[in-house]
Structures are given as structure tokens and as C-alpha cells.
Amino acid sequence: MAGKGITRSFAGFVLAAVAAAAPTGADAVELQVSPRGVQIGVFFAGRSVELSGVADASTEVVIEVFGPKEASLFHLKGRVGPLWLNVQEVELEYAPHLYLMLTSDELDPAAALGELDLGLEHLERGIVVRPDALDKDMIFEQFLKLKRSQGLYEERRGAVVYEPLADGERAFRAELFLPASIGPGAYRIVTSALDGGRVVDRTVGDLWVEETDIVKAIHDLAVDHGLIYGVACVLIALVVGGIIGVVFKRVGAH
């Protein structure tokens, strides 16, 4: 009987510790996404998505947007004699296609977001770099430069704006701009409420990005039938070039 009592006491202690460490939901944060779906067409040049919600007035809201996870293959360049050449293949696994973090101007710039499982520092911890012997920090830094140049990784301070409400709450809104370089898939929107240096609540929403029929057909052709796609591109380029050449000749003749 004494052993059972000790076991029950230990189990109660573990449950209490987990409850103390996890977000309590007492300062519940709500999020609305409009629209909940975006279509990528032939002339897609990016799209804005409106994010809005309500949170406790004492909390600071951080919004993170994660694209589908993917494996990315890159070539590490190095000097071979007088030339810069590809010297090694590098693969990054579990890196999201897109990562955006939206915060307000009120967020303390010195806040240790990585310790709260937020921001690029936390994102890097979940990414695997192969070969293992490579300097992960250096590879991730170069990966960030590439993604930022494509508009796919960004931390946007001042993107979240607050409006006061009654009963100790305040509304927040943010404009999420999805660049033209985004890919299809399910995008996860995580809204965290911070108070006193800890996350007190976290809400997860979804945003779907889909390709229209013609864009999807071209994408599938390029992925599943690369040779046919390549030949078709060359033929189209030859035809277009021939038409342009004929037009310019006729214009020059006049």
C-alpha cells in the first residue's frame, strides 16, 4: 500500500509540473484568417492575407507562418585553383518552404524568443544538415540569405497592430503578404501570447495554397516528365523566336 501511495504522489507531482509548464489557456488568444485559401495562377504576383484576433491586454502577440517542410539540396562552392566551383552537395531536411514571423513594435528587441520556441533560432534547431560534419551555423546562415532574397524567410517587426477593447482585452491585426515565389501546400499559422517572459497561450490555424489547373499541369509535367518538359520549352522558345524575327523583318522592310 505504501508503494502505491508513493506512485500516486509521484504521478500527481509530474502532472502538476506539466500543467505549470504548459500554456494555461487563461489568456486565450483567438485568430481569424481571411481568406483561408490562396490560388496560384499563371499571373500570380503575390497575395495579402488579413490576420486578426483578440488577446488579453497584458499579453504580447507573436505570429509565425510555416510553409510545408521540404528537403532542399544545394551546392557548396569553393576555390579550385583560380576558379570558384561546386565542391560539395549539401542537403537541408525539415526546413519549411516559408517562414515569416510578425511582431509589434512593443515587443522587447532583447526578448529571448529562442528559449520560448519562437523565431529563427528555434527554427534552426529543427533543421538537419547533411553531411553531419559541416558547420551547421554557417550553412544555415547561407540558407537564410537565399531564402530572404526570395522573400520566403523574414521577421517583420511592427507588422502586428493593436486596438484597445473592453474587459481587459485588445484586438490585433496584421497583414500577411505571401510572395510570388510561394509553393502549394498547407501553411501553418501559429499565434503565441507572451506574458511575463513565457508563452501563456498558443493557437494554430491553417492556410491553404493551391495551384490552378494550368499551373498544376505545368508543374506536374516538369516534375514527372522532365525530358518532355525540357523539349517542349525548347520548341516553344524556337517558335517564339522565329515569330519575333519575322515581325522585326517586316517592320524593317517598311
Tens-place pLDDT, residues 140-173: 999 999 999 999 999 999 999 999 888 889 999 9
Residue 183: exposed, middle, or buried by beta-carbon count in 10 A (0-12, 13-18, 19+)? middle
Confidence check: pLDDT of 215 > 60: no
Residues 110 and 219 in one domain: no
Q: Report the distance separating Cα 176 and Cα 47, nearest Å.
A: 8
Is residue 19 a part of any domain in this protein? Answer: no
Residues 216 and 117 in one domain: no
Instruction: Over range 90-104, report the average pLDDT.
Output: 95
pLDDT digits (tens, 9 = 90+) for 218-230: 555 555 556 665 7
Q: Which of 153, 124, 125 is nearest to 65 (CA)?
A: 153
Residues 240 and 133 in one domain: no
Query: How many structural domains comprise the chain?
Result: 2
Confidence check: pLDDT of 21 > 70: no
Q: What is the DSSP letter of 113?
A: G
Which domain range does residue 177 map to?
Answer: 24-211
Residues 196 and 245 in one domain: no
Q: Which of 18, 51, 48 is nearest to 206 (CA)?
A: 51
Strand partners, 162: 172
Residues 86 and 165 in one domain: yes
pLDDT of residue 237: 77
**Which H/E stretch holds residue 204?**
strand 198-211
Confidence check: pLDDT of 22 > 90: no
Residues 184 and 254 in one domain: no
Residues 73 and 195 in one domain: yes
Residues 126 and 231 in one domain: no
